[in-house]
Amino acid sequence: MSTNSLPSAGFITHWQAIIVLILGLVLSSFVTYQMSMQRQQEITLQFHQDAQHLASLVANKLNEMRQQALFVGKLWPAILDQSAIGEATEQYAGQIMSVEIISLDAGHYQQVPLPEYLTWQSNDKLLAMPDVHTMLSKATALQELVTGPVTRINSVAPEYAGELRWYLPMQAEQSNFILVIGFALQSVLEPISEELQHTKLQLAIHDLEQFSSTALLALGVKDDAPEFTGNEWLFKDTLALAERQWLLQIQPTYAYLAARKDLTAIIVFVAGMLISILSAFILSQRAQQLGAIDS
């Protein structure tokens, strides 16, 4: 057999080269696996930090709605005087979509028309809408601010779909009435929606008292979210808001995960594999040279 054929045969037959090759591949695989797991843990941690930040933004927005509803109640009934409406009032309560006045007369609720100079909307068919009487009774009984369910599209008032109403009991001149202050939920959460578009996350808001199986509002990137077997990629947070429980669910999209891919582990594996093959080849060559000298 010629000398030029020995390197090829030696690479296969020398047991020292095979051991070096196997150990190198095992070590490269182990290091690659550890790096991949560490990277996944880092991405998971980053996701939960991003989700926690978004949940706090939602909580702040909902609390702002509460403060604005209380602000309107604080100015009532002075706000009914056209001369008392100042620029600060309209600026602070600018996100309010609608205001209705419901009086309690002889055990019956009656809607009082708003003055024409007020720019807020008013739905004259409010008392015919679902759940309104239930929330009016609850607010009357508790004598504190309560939140109603988010309205859905319905035949009575389709333009009020997605509105969140606050019910605030009031007293004036020995008469009891309730201010019903409505916000367009999607409009209020528009800054959150922009943040979701930037981070490539999806947010779903559920009302645990009603429609808990279906999200009231879904915001974020219109992209399919990966189906994960565990809960490490699903962030949940429950918010208590004026006698109501809200569930926030946040999850990443394919775009979120793709933006955080790291090829370092793959590069390390390929480099380790090449070094192992080269080391085995060099060892085989050396063994053949020694064998040739001995012969």
d(CA 209, CA 215): 12
Domain count, the chain: 1
Q: What is the pTM of this model?
A: 0.73
Whether the pLDDT of residue 157 is over 60: the answer is no
User: Could you say which DSSP state residue 123 is in?
Assistant: -
Residues of the domain holding 160: 64-187
Q: Is the pLDDT of residue 222 over 80?
A: no
Tell me the pLDDT tens digit for each residue of 240-269: 876 688 888 898 888 888 887 777 778 887
Angle between helices 15-75 and 190-199 (to 10 degrees): 170
Per-residue pLDDT averaged across 110-125, rounded?
74
> Does 73 map to a domain?
yes
Residue 112: which CATH number? 3.30.450
Asked if residue 42 is part of any domain, the answer here is no
Residue 40 lies inside a defined structural domain of this protein: no
Whether the pLDDT of residue 100 is over 50: the answer is: yes
Distances (CA, A) of 219 to 61, 130, 190: 15, 25, 9
Does some domain include residue 208?
no
32-75: pLDDT as tens digits: 888 888 888 888 889 989 999 999 998 898 888 888 888 878 77
Radius of gyration of the chain (CA): 33
242 part of a folded domain:
no
